[in-house]
């Protein structure tokens, strides 16, 4: 019986780990894009590094808080998933 659990765990890991790596890569790209935006945006808007860091932190906090509820609302209101439904 123990080998069934081990095989199931191994199968789940082989399916989840590539997806988690992809998610980490996309999150990394998102952070890098914010860093690239800071190069010109800070000078144009007159922001200090601390102000930019605070703004990015607030953006992340809002993203973190509202991500799950927004996805639940989208799922609930989507109907059958077809456009126009």
Quickly tell me which residue has 């890991």 as its tokens.
Answer: 13
Give a yes or no: residue 84 inside a domain: no
Give a yes or no: residue 72 inside a domain: yes
The total number of structural domains in the chain stands at 1
Give a yes or no: residue 82 inside a domain: no
pLDDT digits 0-9 by tens, 4-57 = 888 888 888 898 899 989 988 888 887 788 888 888 889 999 999 899 989 888
Which range among 56-60, 65-69, 73-77 shows the weakest confidence by mean pLDDT? Answer: 73-77
Residue 24: what pLDDT? 86
Give a yes or no: residue 44 inside a domain: yes
Give a yes or no: residue 23 inside a domain: yes
Give a yes or no: residue 85 inside a domain: no
Residue 29: what pLDDT? 84
pTM above 0.75, yes or no: no
Q: Which residues contact 48 (CB under 8 A, 6 or more apart)?
A: 42
Domain ranges, residue 12: 2-77
Residue 73: what pLDDT? 81
Give a yes or no: residue 40 inside a domain: yes
Do residues 42 and 52 make contact, with C-beta atoms less than 8 angstroms apart? Answer: yes
């Amino acid at each position: 019986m123990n080998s069934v659990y081990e095989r199931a765990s191994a199968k789940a890991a082989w399916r989840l780990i590539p997806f988690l790596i992809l998610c980490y890569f996309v999150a990394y790209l998102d952070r890098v894009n914010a860093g690239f935006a800071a190069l010109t945006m800070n000078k144009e808007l007159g922001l200090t590094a601390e102000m930019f860091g605070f703004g990015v932190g607030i953006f992340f906090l809002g993203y973190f808080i509202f991500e799950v509820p927004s996805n639940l609302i989208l799922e609930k209101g989507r109907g059958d998933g077809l456009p126009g439904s």
